[in-house]
Amino acid sequence: MGEEENKPDVTAGKGKAGSKKFIILGIVVLLLAGGGYAGWNFFVPGKFLKKGDEVIAKTGESGQAMKMAPGIMHEMEPFIVNLLDQDGRRYLKTTIELQIGNKDEEKELVERIPQIRDAVLLLLTSKSFGDISTPEGKIQLRNELIARINQVLQRPTVRALYFTEFVVQ
């Protein structure tokens, strides 16, 4: 019994060395992940824009430089529509936010919500899955929606349109 008490605990030393290795390994993994994230954000986003998209983003549809001053955002109720597909089983659920200039424009927009919803619904139901499944299709849909909504209003009010939800099933 006396001999057992005098023997050093061999497992205690291995636990400390093993935990140091895990801490160092964790720090290395975090540094690599952070470096990868920083590199991705620095180098990659510009490569996905095509030259035409970049020009549209900078100049707008009319070709003139757009001033995207902060405006008033107006969220529309969600739209749920059947898409124009041969099997008739696909539907789109989307929520949009409209950027407008000032309170007067918002007042007109709110007064014409039924007409705006009707115009948006008619446009959305005329689209097929193939029309809206690509990023280019979504950009085209956004531009068509802005034009259609501005036709309903007395003066062009909608500066930008944002999809805050876009689900096709």
Tens-place pLDDT, residues 63-73: 444 455 578 99
Are 169 and 91 spatial neighbours (Cβ–Cβ below 8 Å)?
Answer: yes
Phi and psi at residue 77, to the nearest 5° = -65, 155
* pLDDT, greater one: 155 or 3: 155
Q: What is the CATH number of the domain that holds 161?
A: 3.30.479.30
Residue 38 lies in domain: 2-45
pLDDT at 38: 76
Domain count of the chain?
A: 2
Same domain? For 32 and 112 the reply is no
Residue 21, Cβ density class (10 Å: 0-12 exposed, 13-18 middle, ≥19 buried): exposed
Same domain? For 73 and 134 the reply is yes
* pLDDT, greater one: 79 or 86: 79
Same domain? For 70 and 153 the reply is yes
pLDDT at 62: 47
Same domain? For 40 and 65 the reply is no
